[in-house]
Structure 1
């Protein structure tokens, strides 16, 4: 194997120079002799095509005017047969027709004029080869992304119950994103939703929250005509907000936040910053990672990790907290008690100005009323009252459950004075507090 400057010929970039004038070829060879390229030459289009049949050529520089086959015709054929070969035309004639033919049919990278500027010619060739290397790397990464997407799909189908295996598979998908994010720039929002499905593998089916949080955030952004870039960042934040919990034990990851705050305070308070740290190395996710960091801040400044207050909390983080809390209240990840949707919205309204941005909270409730078909809180005929404000004849607008989840009364049940007394007594025994959604008997 022949070598140039100690480098095997097979590893050198190959440049083919085509000109019918030997003195031009000699000048170009002298100019390029110090470049780390293998230089081939041809004195006609036919000879150039013959060389291309037996050699791998990265860049061809062809004169425009040659007997028989001109440069435009040659470069057009090169494009058809060897599309990966970069194409540059060298011309001493200001003939627009020839140049346009080369551009349209040969799709040349650039054209240079004779006499050339040595520095400009070398720089142009170097840029062309750099561009080619970038395109080849992009293609390689696209193939790699497709291969790893296939592997990811197969891994998803084979996930078992062991935490170690699921965590390893999530790490593999994270590595895949790191390798291929350039190719997935236009679809990385979808990619994060795929990863959210992997996060759900750590949770029992009834506590898998990410998809519901994503849906709510999207509904709000559409309802409020939120800027498209913020909507994308919000969707990615909703998909990955709890990725920092993946290192937790099974017992911790399914425990409600109020218990974690009492018994595992440091661990619980660390998950937003851990989530941010995992995502900050990926450029397309950096804005979403920032929203995740602050999504447990509270309007009154009592949240974490930085005790931000009011509008110092990013808008997207305030919205994410509303969506996360609304969903987690319903699956036992916020309080020990499971709330229904109306109770969760009532919780948000009651904590508006303390935990939540008051204006944003009302907009969020309005979106939920429009988006969720079974929400009663938006019905003007429905009221949420305590047991001691119940009146005989009122009709239940929602099933009523005890603190332990047991069904006490069905929706549609008309309350009698005896039922009201029993509810008050049962509430006292449980040391609980029931919120009852009712219709007045005369309401439509």
Structure 2
């Protein structure tokens, strides 16, 4: 291939921003990449450049005078649906995002200031996605041409027909591989996008990766079909995308402590998440699972008050995983539960909040995914204060409902201490679950050590 031919095949990327320093930053970052760069200082100039020459990808700022990024990308999509687009913005404006996705068919949404590696990866994936789409169309066109040729062959050309049939089968296999790769790229993209959602949250309240791990383990344990498992994995990655529109005060608050106005805003996020994703056809089924993941088994959930098996199975599974992780992050109750307390909470509300047929399998999976959970230790069991006997050894720290540490792990319970715990429960109108080892098993473990 000649040098001029190679240059003609290089992707062309149009960068649009009304701030010159931003364009300069992008130029420096993207210098030396295997694609050609063209700059535009606004929507009008971008459309003039787009009219004069084709582009493979447009990276546009969202907020610009005259014509905003969402309007620009919508117009570019109307003129050239094959052109990929990435939206950059420093504002968490959910309506802008929805408009850009629905009308501009954007490939990615990145917040400013961007992470250099993330932006480079997004551009590389967008161009790779476009190349795969064009290759798929080329292969489809090739298949159509071959089918036309097959229809014209004479019956006397049986050997040629057999050879052509073999070639068509090979082409079909290539198409299947291309489609599989596209499906995998959507799963990967959703997980990458989930990291953007986490940027709105403190590190200790970032839940997506843990929920993805649990959901994948559940899907594997239940031998779910590949397409259903893929949809459920994408739902786990993007279940809280609708929370991007919430104020920070609601975003990090325990759901059970919200006042009525905040609770009303909070309860909109599953439906908002669905709305954002419905413009992307491969995410339709995942979006439906997200819409219903806050429904409750007894019908008291939201947004549609579904009950029992009317709730999609994937949504019931996602509800378990989300609550298990968010209980430990302090996003449900005022006090953060440890892992064992979270499992006990879920077991307590079996048949009310959760599908009772999933509970036992879910606990088994959580023990496997999180091997340090105390309930995985056969020598440890949960008891209430009325079941305590002198000599038992506390296996986990005991906290009051307000978070205060009452007893340290390893404490040997005496008769006097047990009476004080019972009296304290009565004063506080509380009920505590303790994780203990019996005297015999505790002594046996010490002897082994």
Distance change in 2, residues 1:274/1:420 (3 Å): same
What is the Cα deviation at residue 411 of structure 1? 2.0
Which residue number corresponds to residue 255 of structure 2?
Answer: 257
Query: Among 333, 343, 354, which residue is 2:341 paired with?
Result: 343
Do 2:56 and 2:83's aligned partners in 1 also have CA atoms closer than 8 Å?
Answer: no
1:136-175 counterparts in 2 under 5 A? 140=56, 165=91, 171=97
Which residue number corresponds to residue 218 of structure 2?
Answer: 220
Do 1:261 and 1:268's aligned partners in 2 also have CA atoms closer than 8 Å?
Answer: no
Question: Which structure has more helix as a fraction of its residues?
Answer: 2
Which residue number corresponds to residue 366 of structure 2?
Answer: 368
Matched position secondary structure for 1:317: helix
Do 2:240 and 2:269's aligned partners in 1 also have CA atoms closer than 8 Å?
Answer: yes
Matched position secondary structure for 2:189: helix
Which residue number corresponds to residue 231 of structure 1?
Answer: 229
Query: Among 302, 305, 310, which residue is 1:304 paired with?
Result: 302
Listed one character per residue, the Cα deviations across residues 249-274 of structure 1 (whole Å, up to 9, x for unaligned) are 11111111112375533222211111
Using structure 1 for the length normalisation, give the TM-score: 0.61
Structure of larger gyration radius: 1
Which residue number corresponds to residue 148 of structure 2?
Answer: none
Which residue number corresponds to residue 419 of structure 1?
Answer: 417
Listed one character per residue, the Cα deviations across residues 42-83 of structure 1 (whole Å, up to 9, x for unaligned) are xxxxxxxxxx999x9xxxxxxxxxxxxxxxxxxxxxxx9999
5+ long unaligned stretches in structure 1: 1-51, 57-79, 85-136, 156-163
Distance change in 2, residues 1:214/1:146 (3 Å): farther
Distance 2:414 2:261 in 1: 43
1:327-342 counterparts in 2 under 5 A? 327-342=325-340
425-434 or 173-182: bigger deviation: 173-182
Which residue number corresponds to residue 107 of structure 2?
Answer: 177
5+ long unaligned stretches in structure 2: 11-53, 61-81, 110-125, 134-181, 445-449
Matched position secondary structure for 1:442: helix
Distance change in 2, residues 1:430/1:83 (3 Å): closer
Do 1:299 and 1:354's aligned partners in 2 also have CA atoms closer than 8 Å?
Answer: yes
What is the Cα deviation at residue 286 of structure 1? 0.9
Which residue number corresponds to residue 175 of structure 2?
Answer: none
Using structure 2 for the length normalisation, give the TM-score: 0.60
Distance change in 2, residues 1:147/1:263 (3 Å): closer
What is the Cα deviation at residue 143 of structure 1? 11
Listed one character per residue, the Cα deviations across residues 144-170 of structure 1 (whole Å, up to 9, x for unaligned) are 999978x98xx9xxxxxxxx64558x9
335-344 or 380-389: bigger deviation: 380-389
Do 1:166 and 1:202's aligned partners in 2 also have CA atoms closer than 8 Å?
Answer: no
Matched position secondary structure for 2:56: helix
Distance change in 2, residues 1:399/1:415 (3 Å): same
Do 1:384 and 1:437's aligned partners in 2 also have CA atoms closer than 8 Å?
Answer: yes
Matched position secondary structure for 2:358: helix
1:381-400 counterparts in 2 under 5 A? 381-400=379-398
Distance 1:430 1:310 in 2: 35
Distance 2:266 2:320 in 1: 18
Matched position secondary structure for 2:184: helix
Listed one character per residue, the Cα deviations across residues 187-216 of structure 1 (whole Å, up to 9, x for unaligned) are 111111111111111111111111111111
Matched position secondary structure for 1:246: helix
Distance change in 2, residues 1:146/1:372 (3 Å): farther
Which residue number corresponds to residue 353 of structure 1?
Answer: 351
Which residue number corresponds to residue 285 of structure 1?
Answer: 283
Aligned: 1:438 with 2:444 = no
Which residue number corresponds to residue 275 of structure 1?
Answer: 273
Distance change in 2, residues 1:363/1:262 (3 Å): farther
207-216 or 261-270: bigger deviation: 261-270
Do 2:271 and 2:303's aligned partners in 1 also have CA atoms closer than 8 Å?
Answer: yes
What is the Cα deviation at residue 363 of structure 1? 0.8
RMSD over aligned CA atoms reads 3.6
Listed one character per residue, the Cα deviations across residues 258-299 of structure 1 (whole Å, up to 9, x for unaligned) are 123755332222111111011111111111100000101111
Do 2:246 and 2:266's aligned partners in 1 also have CA atoms closer than 8 Å?
Answer: no
Aligned: 1:409 with 2:401 = no
Distance 2:350 2:225 in 1: 24
Do 2:396 and 2:435's aligned partners in 1 also have CA atoms closer than 8 Å?
Answer: yes
Listed one character per residue, the Cα deviations across residues 77-130 of structure 1 (whole Å, up to 9, x for unaligned) are xxx99999xxxxxxxxxxxxxxxxxxxxxxxxxxxxxxxxxxxxxxxxxxxxxx
